[in-house]
Amino acid sequence: MAAERLGLDLEALGGQLVWRIGKDEVSDEVVVRLGYASATPRFAHLPRLRSAGDAELRSALDEGRVVIEWVD
pLDDT digits (tens, 9 = 90+) for 39-59: 999 999 999 999 999 999 999
Q: Is the pLDDT of residue 3 over 80?
A: no
* H-state helical runs in the chain: 2-14, 40-43, 54-63
C-beta atoms surrounding 19 within 10 Å: 13
- Return the minimum-mean-pLDDT range out of 9-13, 33-37, 64-68: 9-13
3-state helix, strand, coil in the chain (%, to 5): 40, 30, 25
For β-strands 66-71 and 30-36, DSSP reports them as parallel
pTM of the model: 0.77
pLDDT for position 8: 86
